[in-house]
């Protein structure tokens, strides 16, 4: 990719915060149960999972919304939940997100789709599903269509996220696609099933290779096979374009007038959960921000490559995409956003690593700092260092500090072998960064006590530890600055 093309893509990403997207589809609740397995049950030849924590998040069409919010876009969400605990939990999770206008209609007696995954030491043991897949009653479907059309008029792009759980029946899809044409809005469909008649006239359809095969019956293992199958569907259902995800082979964009293939972006694949939702959300955000289709597809491909390299149902953020477009080299790869640090910490924990955290201004790195950080590294398997931003340092130490800017301080720290990640924080204390990263061990110098370490009680609340590292006598930032100025 040329420098000019890279700059253009970067500018497109910065426009995502202008995007407004309507998502209509099947809402689900994804629950993850993490634990450890050390023995086999005496009752049956199955592992015993000792549960350590549980996480719940929106799934299905709700995960498309979650990805849109992560991209800084605004979203309206129209779906249906049951009158049950899972529906209540899902409503709270969706409603608690910023920049989301939720319309989750309640269908009494319906079972909210709940997918529970049991995971031990990073290995997926089993998934248990609870769901109902019948179409909505006529009156509820009519209400959903009415609300969706109103929301469609107030947004730029509509996504139909179909998991075949009953929300997007043939009549609902037809009404929404017809309504979009009247309003001059584009429709993106993430399809399921063999019969795509319900999606007729959609502007972009985003199947994976298996879904493309199911819809056509054609062999789609080769690039040429994917193109041939896509062209059949373009003609049969009058689609504007197909963006086909092909796993390790990348993605292909096929329209009536052009064919583009995008190579896979991920270097390592850890988890494909939710990658399709990330692709459709990124495509929708880009098109809503008036990015041309070919470039929107390229950004969606990059975003998909980012999330499959993360653990769990992850999201791609603008900073992630910008870093993938123009990656840092050398030590600067260690300088990451707080969100990226939190995701990496989770990935390390799932591999059984003990994650440590320390923080400071680190204004003019000196031997005392190096000694402290080397000790910190011996107390954990992976060390994350938080550093105060320039504004934070000024508030704490006065207008003459810092002696070096935040970018320089971060770069110098990242060059140390003892440090695995560096991230800036804007507040006067790192408490919110600690809450986000959830370190297993919080480390400060021996000039602190356990009672004066910020975040000590928080880390201990989830079973972590607080440790104090010995200082190197005669070395401090104040003394170093005095010597330099004297």
Residues annotated as catalytic (active site), given as ranges = 277
- Residue 324, both tokens: 């993938």
Q: Are 328 and 368 in contact (CB under 8 A)?
A: no
Q: What six digits make up the tokens of 135?
A: 């179409």
Please give the sequence-ordered ranges of beta strands (E in DSSP) within 294-429, or none if there are none.
355-360, 382-388, 421-425
| DSSP 8-state symbol, 405 | -
- 33 DSSP β-pair partners: 54, 118
d(CA 252, CA 362): 47
Residue 275 φ then ψ, to 5°: -65, -35
- DSSP secondary structure of 289-332: TT--HHHHHHHHHHHHHHHTTSSSS----HHHHHHHHS---GGG
What one-character-per-residue DSSP string does 151-198 give? HHHTSSEEEEE--SSSSS-HHHHHHHHHHHHHHT-EEEEE--SS--GG
CA 114 to chain centre: 20
Contact criterion met (CB below 8 Å) for 468 and 445:
yes
Q: What does 365-421 look like in DSSP terms, one character per residue?
A: --HHHHHHHHHHHHTSSEEEEEEE-HHHHHHHH-TT--SS-HHHHHHHHHT-TT-SE
For the chain, first and last CA: distance in Å? 50
């Amino acid at each position: 990719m040329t420098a000019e093309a890279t700059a253009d893509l970067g500018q497109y990403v910065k426009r995502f915060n202008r995007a407004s997207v309507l998502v209509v589809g099947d809402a689900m609740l994804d629950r993850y149960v993490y634990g450890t397995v050390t023995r086999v049950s005496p009752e049956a030849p199955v592992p015993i999972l000792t549960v350590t924590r549980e996480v719940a998040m929106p799934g299905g069409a709700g995960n498309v919304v979650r990805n849109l919010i992560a991209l800084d876009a605004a979203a309206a969400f129209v779906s249906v939940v049951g009158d049950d605990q899972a529906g209540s939990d899902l409503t709270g999770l969706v409603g608690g997100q910023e920049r989301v206008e939720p319309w989750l209609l309640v269908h009494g007696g319906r079972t909210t789709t709940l997918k529970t995954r049991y995971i031990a030491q990073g290995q997926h043991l089993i998934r248990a599903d609870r769901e109902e897949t019948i179409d909505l009653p006529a009156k509820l479907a009519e209400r959903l269509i009415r609300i969706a059309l109103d929301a469609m008029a107030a947004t730029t792009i509509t996504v139909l996220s179909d998991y075949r759980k009953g929300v997007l029946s043939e009549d609902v899809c037809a009404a929404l696609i017809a309504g979009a044409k009247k309003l001059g809005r584009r429709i993106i469909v993430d399809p399921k099933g063999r019969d795509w008649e319900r999606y007729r006239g959609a502007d972009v359809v985003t199947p994976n290779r298996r879904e493309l095969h199911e819809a056509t019956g054609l062999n789609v293992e080769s690039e040429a096979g994917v193109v041939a199958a896509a062209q059949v569907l373009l003609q049969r259902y009058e689609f504007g374009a197909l963006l086909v995800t092909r796993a390790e082979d990348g993605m292909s964009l096929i329209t009536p007038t052009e064919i583009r293939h995008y190579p896979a972006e991920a270097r390592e694949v850890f988890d494909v959960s939710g990658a399709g939702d990330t692709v459709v959300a990124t495509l929708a955000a880009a098109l809503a921000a008036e990015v041309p289709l070919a470039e929107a597809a390229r950004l969606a491909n990059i975003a998909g490559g980012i999330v499959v390299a993360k653990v769990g149902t992850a999201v791609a953020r603008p900073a992630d995409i910008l870093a993938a477009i123009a990656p840092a080299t050398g030590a600067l790869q260690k300088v990451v956003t707080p969100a990226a640090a939190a995701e990496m910490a989770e990935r390390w924990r799932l591999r059984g690593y003990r994650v440590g955290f320390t923080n400071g201004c680190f204004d003019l790195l000196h031997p005392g700092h190096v000694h402290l950080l080397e000790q910190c590294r011996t107390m954990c398997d992976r060390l994350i260092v938080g550093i105060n931003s320039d504004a934070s340092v000024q508030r704490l130490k006065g207008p003459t500090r810092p002696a070096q800017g935040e970018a320089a301080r971060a770069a110098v720290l990242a060059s140390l072998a003892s440090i695995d990640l560096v991230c800036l924080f804007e507040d006067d204390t790192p408490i919110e960064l600690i809450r986000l990263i959830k370190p297993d061990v919080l480390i400060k110098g021996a000039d602190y006590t356990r009672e004066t370490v910020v975040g000590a009680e928080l880390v201990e609340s989830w079973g972590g530890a607080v440790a104090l590292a010995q200082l190197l006598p005669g070395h401090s930032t104040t003394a170093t600055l005095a010597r330099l100025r004297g």
